[in-house]
Amino acid sequence: MGFIDDYLYGISHGFYSIINKKNFVIKKELPQYIQNFPVFVIGSGPSLDKDLSFIAKNQDKAIIIACGTAIDALYHYGIKPDFFANTERVPETVQALETIPDKSFFDDIILLAADVCHPLTVNKFKYTALLGKADEPLYKYLIEQYPQYKSIQYVTNMNPLVGNMGVAGAIYLGFKNLILFGIDCGSVIKGKAHSNKTTLYREYGYSDDVIEYQSNEVVEGNFEKFCGTNSFFQMSVRKIEEILRLNENNGVKCINCSNGCKIKYTISCHSDQLVTEFDSKNKIDKDIFLKTFLNNKVTSLDLSEEQFYKLFKHQPIKKICSDLIEFISKKRNSVTDYIWMMEEISEHLAYLKTTKEQFLCSKCILPTLNHCFVIMTQALYLHANEDNVLDIAENIKNDIVDFLTEFPELFEKLPDYIMGEELKHFPNGMVGRDLSHCKAIKFPPKQNIIKQNYDDPIKEFIKRYE
């Protein structure tokens, strides 16, 4: 559903990339011969290890997209990616990248990400290929206000895992022949979530023993009869299947060499079955590919800081919120009254999203309210027969009013609300301010994903072909 903090961060990060002339992908077809290049989309699932030798041997015969921490595994096996795919907007991504000792390794790698990507990550790369995240406010609002930017390519189905960005990004760039490695979305080996070659987990002490990676259900495997997985991984599978289904008639072909979950619309194939085919392929001149891609497929946006600020300074945010507060504050006398309240608010904000003037405000507000409405609906039905059910609903309603009271104050900070830099807006170290029913809390400490020191012996990247 999204949440207000994510939207404020995403808008501000996109602003940074636009103002600093980072390159965005444009809706222009790649030359036909490039479209047909094989593209290795590589995740850091545990099955990657069995395919590293094949990938290394054929790394000059395919375009390589390293998804997230797969770049760590590839570096340590001597494989040079052409793209680094990133899904997250968090600042910690760059911490993982900086564990790679050879800083020149990134010189000719293209960042493939959405406009919400954190400035620290964006600045790590000389070359960028940013896409407009279609389900967030900035992209749609930008092209409505400045129609000349409708040529910027959007992306869908890039969540929840970075492998989703690898697959969706490759398709939206215009590539037709995808081969998946390490896109496991689970594991056939209990308790294993990542490749042994990822030093972030093996040497730097960052644990992958977290609930997001734990398996609590079993599904059909790509090669094995069973694969351990969970709802989070299965959401990733569904998103991959959706983007492949949508492009089934566009000539997109996807081979899956990953020993993980079965993925519809892919062809199951072990990498050793591709040896003969790749032995006959010619090498790709990566220097020519890089120049051709940069000259044909990306551009910076000619939007000034003043123009960008105007996008936010005349939004009717205070009126929208005050009108909602007035409506919400009316007394309700039954469970049904509260259900009607939520429905009317949702319909009202859904209508505002269709208007050019009020789209951005309503788009930012509605997802957070939906979270609140889910909680209220659960509470209303769980306690429907209890005497205090209306008191419970009233308490939740008061929290909603507090959110709507503070939201305009947060919105006014746009487009300068970078994740990890919020404290400059809150010098007292508290998140926001005390409100009638909700007290401010202290900012949590910055997260450091590097838990222990490691003297990486591979100080300089050297390509390997075995």
Per-residue pLDDT tens, the chain, 466 aa: give them. 778 999 999 999 999 999 999 999 999 999 999 999 999 999 999 999 999 999 999 999 999 999 999 999 999 999 999 999 999 999 999 999 999 999 999 999 999 999 999 999 999 999 999 999 999 999 999 998 899 999 999 999 999 999 999 999 999 999 999 999 999 999 998 777 788 889 998 899 888 777 778 888 999 999 999 999 999 999 999 999 999 999 999 999 999 999 999 999 999 999 999 999 999 999 999 999 999 999 999 999 998 888 888 888 778 899 999 999 999 999 999 999 999 999 999 999 999 988 888 888 888 999 899 999 999 999 999 998 899 999 999 999 999 999 999 999 999 999 999 999 999 999 899 988 999 998 999 998 889 999 999 999 999 999 999 8
Specify if 374 maps to a domain.
Answer: yes
The answer to the question of residue 432 being in a domain is no
- Write the burial class of residue 144 (CB in 10 Å: 0-12 exposed, 13-18 middle, 19+ buried): middle
Q: Which of 299, 333, 349 is the last residue of a domain?
A: 299
> How many domains is the chain built from?
2
Tokens linked to 177: 């022949």
Q: Please tell me the distance from the alpha carbon of residue 430 to that of residue 428, in angstroms, as a whole number.
A: 6
Alpha-carbon gap, residue 293 to 110, rounded angstroms: 10
Give the pTM: 0.95
d(CA 367, CA 131): 22
Q: Cβ distance 154 to 133 under 8 Å?
A: yes
Residue showing tokens 């390490």: 182
- Which pLDDT score, from 0 to 100, does residue 309 have? 84
The Cα 390–Cα 65 span in angstroms is 53
Burial of 383 per CB tally in 10 Å (0-12, 13-18, 19+): middle
Helix then strand then coil, in percent of the chain rounded to 5, is 45, 10, 40
Q: What is residue 284's predicted lDDT score, i.e. its pLDDT?
A: 98
Nearest residue to 233 via CA among 225, 248, 223, 222: 222
What lies within 8 Å, CB to CB, of 109 at 6+ separation is: 66, 80, 81, 82, 83, 84, 125, 127
> 282 with 347, same domain?
no
**Pair (140, 217) in one structural domain:** yes
Residue 444, in any domain of the structure: no
Within 10 angstroms of residue 306's Cβ, the number of other Cβ atoms is 7
pLDDT the model gives residue 246: 96
Residue 90, token pair as written in the block: 């968090």
* Helical H segments across 128-194, by residue range: 137-145, 162-173
- Residues 102 and 156 reside in one and the same domain: yes
**Which helix or strand (DSSP H or E) is residue 392 part of?**
helix 389-411
Same domain, 338 and 198: no
Domain edge (last residue) among 299, 324, 351: 299
Residue 457 lies in a domain: no
* Cβ 349 vs Cβ 366: under 8 Å: yes
Same domain, yes or no: 270 and 322: no
* Statement to judge: residues 319 and 207 lie in one domain: no
Q: Which of 420, 436, 459 is the last residue of a domain?
A: 420
Cα(92)–Cα(100) distance, integer angstroms: 14
β-bridge partners, 133: 155
Phi, psi dihedral angles at 64 (to 5 degrees):
-115, 125
Domain co-membership, 41 together with 181 = yes
Return the H-helix or E-strand segment holding 227: strand 227-229
CB 196 within 8 A of CB 92: no
- Within this chain, do residues 278 and 320 fall inside the same structural domain, yes or no? no
- Distance between start and end Cα atoms, the chain: 45
β-strands 227-229, 217-219: how paired? Answer: antiparallel
* Exposure of 422 in the CB half-sphere (CA atoms within 13 A): 19
Give the pLDDT score at 353: 87
Query: Is-contact 94 419, C-beta < 8 A?
Result: no
Residue 459 lies in a domain: no
* Bridge partners for 221 per DSSP: 261
User: Do 321 and 416 belong together in one domain?
Assistant: yes
- Are 54 and 176 within one domain? yes
- Written as six digits, the tokens of 300 are 């910076």
Does residue 435 lie in a domain region?
A: no
Same domain, 55 and 107: yes
Nearest C-alpha neighbor of 253 from the set 57, 41, 30: 41
Q: What pLDDT shows up at residue 402?
A: 96
pLDDT at 420: 93
403 lies in a domain?
Answer: yes
Strands 63-67 and 83-85: parallel
Q: How far is CA 463 from CA 54, 56, 151, 186, in A?
A: 13, 8, 37, 29
The 8-class DSSP code of residue 307 comes to H
Domain extent at residue 332: 314-420
Query: Is 236 domain-assigned?
Result: yes
Residues 277 and 337 placed together within one structural domain of the fold: no
* Separation between Cα atoms, residue 183 and residue 260, nearest integer Å: 7
- Residue 355's pLDDT is 86
